[in-house]
A and B are shown apart, each in its own frame.
Chain A
Amino acid sequence: MDKNVIETVTETDFTALMLAVRDRQDKAAFAALFQHFAPRVKGFLMKSGTDAALAEDCAQDVMTVLWNKAALFDPARASVATWVFTIARNRRIDVARKARRPEPEALDWGPDSEPDQADIYEAGQETARLVAAMADLPDKQRVLIQRAFYGDLSHSEIAAETGLPLGTIKSRIRLALDRLRQSMS
């Protein structure tokens, strides 16, 4: 992993930018998000086996979806990076035309559910914490996680792989897990 790409900007700043896009259609905030995330979406798709030109087109599409569907962003449930990842993943599936991917039933959070500030902070920190945790992993373990998310490993290959540091990863986001459980109870 190239440690130079780990930005000093905190995830919370991205959350604030994303909320400016969601709530005020702030184009300057969008431009800042684009400059950070579009190259990452392109890099992610290229690592997933997409050629550079198509990956760049898809990065444009993903960022357009981020703008168009901004109303769906919930800062208490996911960091911006996580949200962008799910959009990029869905775009990759569309491009491959491999299969539909049925989505779980959406949770009804109720009309008045104002997200808790502590939850928003926790969700915002989650990516930075995970990036740091993954940078600390032995190369072999980190590569396995990356390959799983680039779509290189089937479910049975993931199941057969004993070197996946799931315990380490999960312990770093235990707070996030508890947060989600609380929100849902």
Chain B
Amino acid sequence: MSIRHHLSDPMLIAYAAGNLPEAFSLVVATHVSMCDTCRAQLATFEAVGGAVLAAESAALSDGALEAAMARLGAPEPALAMPKPKHTDLPAPLLDYIGGSLADVKWRSLGMGVRQAILPTSKGATARLLYIPAGQAVPDHGHRGTELTLVLQGAFCDATDRFGPGDVEVATEELEHTPVASSDGACICLAATDAPLRFNALIPRLLQPLFRI
């Protein structure tokens, strides 16, 4: 898999710091599972976290060490890495869908476009999007940040082409109309921290219904 579009440093730093909404963490963890470059960058930022931790300290109360020693039991044995089940999904996403992309319970958004909202805590929304070959997702802008990770197929917008494993980090400035590649349906994992802003009237009316 040749991934050309990566996570931004701020996104990886916020993930390393444990300070992203769950929906964004899901996209980051899924992309990192597919992308060795971002895995290495993440390790770099976790090392920075290690240095931040190493440089400050606060005195413990008396007896802290004795209390800790008294708690030591038998350590957990090293478990063999569980082999991933036969699936087309990276592990983080598997926990949210169970099974494979074929098991997703889609809801129609019209024009053949379908979505499935994934259960995450509030603050941001994660969903899978199914876009038929050649079909456009309605023109939309963003109030917040939108992360879109391609799981299958490809889409193009005004900025570039995004294939499997590619992630687009879209901010408020980007008004775009993603169009699925003509050679097959495109399935994406997308997360937003604010409702999308559609430019046509009808999708805007439907927005509360579909939570997009």
Contact A81 B58 (CB under 8 A): no
**Interchain nearest-CB distance for B41 vs A (Å):** 7
State A128–B77 Cα separation when bound (angstroms).
Answer: 30
Contact A78 B59 (CB under 8 A): no
**Interchain nearest-CB distance for A21 vs B (Å):** 8
B84 CB contact (under 8 Å) in A105, A126, A177, A184: A105
The reply to whether the CB of B40 lies closer than 8 angstroms to some CB of chain A is: yes
Chain B 106-142, CB within 8 Å of chain A: the 1/0 string? 0000000000000011010000000000000000000
Contact A38 B68 (CB under 8 A): yes
Q: Chain B residues with Cβ under 8 A from A56's Cβ?
A: 60-61, 64
The reply to whether the CB of A118 lies closer than 8 angstroms to some CB of chain B is: no
Q: Chain B residue with minimal CB distance to A166?
A: B9
Contact B46 A67 (CB under 8 A): no
Contact B8 A159 (CB under 8 A): yes
The reply to whether the CB of B24 lies closer than 8 angstroms to some CB of chain A is: yes
Dominant SS at the B interface?
Answer: helix
Chain B 136-174, CB within 8 Å of chain A: the 1/0 string? 000000001100000000000000000000000001000
Given contacts A56-B64, A156-B145, contact A31 B69 (CB under 8 A): yes
Q: Chain A residues with Cβ under 8 A from B8's Cβ?
A: 159
State A42–B46 Cα separation when bound (angstroms).
Answer: 18
Q: Chain A residue with minimal CB distance to B54?
A: A81
The range of chain A's interface size is 35 or more
Contact A158 B13 (CB under 8 A): yes
**Interchain nearest-CB distance for A5 vs B (Å):** 5
**Interchain nearest-CB distance for B21 vs A (Å):** 6
B43 CB contact (under 8 Å) in A78, A90, A102: A78
Which of the listed residues B10, B26, B64 has the most CB atoms from chain A within 10 Å of its own CB? B10
Given contacts A101-B18, A104-B92, A155-B24, contact A39 B121 (CB under 8 A): no
Q: Chain A residues with Cβ under 8 A from B26's Cβ?
A: 102
Contact A40 B53 (CB under 8 A): yes
Q: Chain A residues with Cβ under 8 A from B79's Cβ?
A: 71
Name B28-78 residues within 8 Å CB distance of A. 29-30, 32-33, 36-37, 39-44, 46-61, 64-65, 67-69, 71-73, 75-78
Residues of B in contact with A (beta carbons under 8 Å apart): 8-11, 13-22, 24-26, 29-30, 32-33, 36-37, 39-44, 46-61, 64-65, 67-69, 71-73, 75-79, 81, 84, 90-92, 95-96, 120-121, 123, 144-145, 171
Residues of A in contact with B (beta carbons under 8 Å apart): 1-2, 5-6, 25, 27, 30-31, 34-35, 38-44, 46-47, 52, 55-56, 59-60, 63-64, 67-72, 77-79, 81-86, 88-90, 92-93, 98-108, 126-127, 130-131, 133-135, 145-146, 148-151, 153-156, 158-159, 166, 169-170, 173, 176-177, 180-181, 184-185
